[in-house]
Amino acid sequence: MQLTAQALANYLKGDIEGNPEVVVSTAARIEQGRPGTLCFLANPKYEQFLYTTQASIVLLNRSFVLTGPVTPTIIRVDDAYQSIAAVLDLYNSMRAFNKKGRSWRANVSWCAKLGKAVWVGPSAYVGSKAKIGKNTKIFPNVYIGEGVKIGENCIIYPGARIYQGCIIGNNCIIHANAVIGSDGFGFAPTADGSYKKIPQMGLVIIEDDVEIGANTVVDRATMDATIIRKGVKLDNLIQVAHNVEIGENTVIAAQTGIAGSAKIGKNCMFAGQVGVAGHIVVADKVQVGAQCGVHTSFKKEGEILIGSPALNAKDYFKAYAIFRHLPGIKKQVDDLEQKMLST
């Protein structure tokens, strides 16, 4: 897809500085810009590349002040980061998802219901009584179980598995090899020391505008539902256990694990490799640092958590100021002990 600077400026409601007829066909990072590419500058750490890039067009914030000559055409916008996201979304919508119908190699139950302009790729399986909303794209080798409901304008990438009865809203993206609705980890100890499996009879409900990364697993509830609320974004390699609820617009980075029946609030941000214990509550707008161990509930909105076990960031840094000196303090104690023994 090719776009002129003028077309991009019109789309983004931006102002052009330079040639309005210059054409771009793809996007690139500003340090790797070349003719025919669109770049952006939002982080001042990369300003040096603005004056050397060979890109054809660069998006800049209106407030940015140039300190030297530039080669590319400039489009001034209110927020360069949001603008490049909008352009990439435009490229994406025009790129690959115009397919519809079903492959002759797909296995679609006769009693499944497919909406208008649905595409089902080769070797995909759609079970009985499943319902797929209009314009949803089912890539090859996807498994959609009996009674699954998927809304409109969704993308289910290759190898994803959606077990029976699960519900997915509109405008959702599920990446390759994600598993939705596998059994929760429920086992009851018996008198002889073995474990008896507890049947997992619930389901998974994923609301609108959710994105779930590759190889992420969302377990079905023991009873009722595991719920992923509207606008949640889950990275790759995340484990969401049975009966968990994640609030609206929460984002969670890779390798995080959330144990059963934990409740995560709205607009939270979890960094990578966070561990959340079961049956706890995390309030709205809480930010959790990488490798944090959240072992207890945090009910104060907007807290920042660090460490394992997790502490409020201010308390953590106060404690860190002490325990980072412990080796020196121990040496002082050992020296004093030796002096006392020698007298």
The confidence band for 97, taking pLDDT boundaries of 50, 70 and 90, is low
pLDDT tens column, 265-288? 999 999 999 999 999 999 999 999
Higher pLDDT, 340 or 182: 182
Percent of the chain with pLDDT over 70: 98
* The pLDDT value given to residue 111: 96
Catalytic residue among 242, 279, 295, 325: 242
Residues 210 and 190: beta-carbon distance below 8 Å: no
Q: Tell me if residue 175 is catalytic.
A: no
Locate 153 and state its tokens.
């304008």
* The pLDDT value given to residue 2: 85
* The pLDDT value given to residue 220: 98
| Extents of the domains making up the chain | 3-95, 101-317
State which amino acid sits at residue 46. Y
**Rounded to an integer, what distance in angstroms lies between the CA atom of residue 330 and that of residue 336?**
10
pLDDT tens column, 225-263? 999 999 999 999 999 999 999 999 999 999 999 999 999
How far CA 99 is from CA of 92, 120, 127, 131, 142, in Å, comes to: 14, 9, 21, 18, 16
pLDDT tens column, 311-340? 999 998 888 888 888 888 888 988 888 888
Q: Over the chain, what is the mean pLDDT?
A: 94
State which amino acid sits at residue 6. Q
Could you tell me the pTM of the whole model? 0.82
Locate 41 and state its tokens.
């500058």
The superfamily in CATH containing domain 101-317 is Hexapeptide repeat proteins (2.160.10.10)
Residues 263 and 280: beta-carbon distance below 8 Å: yes
If one looks up domain 3-95 in CATH, what number appears? 3.40.1390.10
**Rounded to an integer, what distance in angstroms lies between the CA atom of residue 290 and that of residue 168?**
29
In the predicted model, what is the mean pLDDT of residues 118-144?
Answer: 97
* The pLDDT value given to residue 95: 61
139 pLDDT more than 70: yes
